[in-house]
Amino acid sequence: GQSLEQPSEVTAVEGAIVQINCTYQTSGFYGLSWYQQHDGGAPTFLSYNGLDGLEETGRFSSFLSRSDSYGYLLLQELQMKDSASYFCAVKRAGSYQLTFGKGTKLSVIP
């Protein structure tokens, strides 16, 4: 089976940097993805790591280490609109089933 663990809640100050970690137990997956979901909205794709290392997309960066079964999402220059839930996800090899972690609720405070 697959399981992904992430913190349930994180609070950070506007303008600061926050890191959301994701540890996983899975075998055979294509890469680690991150999705953002505002309350009541649809999850939207943020970032994908197919290989180990850091991927940067604007204020967001994501990291993957397959040897450590670990990844993280880094959000810089936090803005109030970044308050949302963030989910890590893996796509299982073969079936391409996308499995999500339980999500981290980020609250950005002034």
Among 5, 48, 55, 74, the residue binding other proteins under the rule CB under 8 A is: 48
33 vs 61, beta carbon nearer other proteins:
33
Nearest alpha-carbon partner for 102 in 20, 29, 31, 18: 20
Q: Report the alpha-carbon distance of residue 95 to residue 78 in Å, rounded.
A: 36
What spatial distance separates the first Cα and last Cα of the chain, rounded to whole Å? 40
Nearest distance, CB of residue 48 and other proteins, angstroms: 6
Q: Report the alpha-carbon distance of residue 32 to residue 76 in Å, rounded.
A: 20
Per-residue contact track with other proteins, 52 to 81, x per CB under 8 A?
------------------------------
Residues that bind other proteins (CB under 8 A): 33, 40-45, 48, 87, 92, 95-103
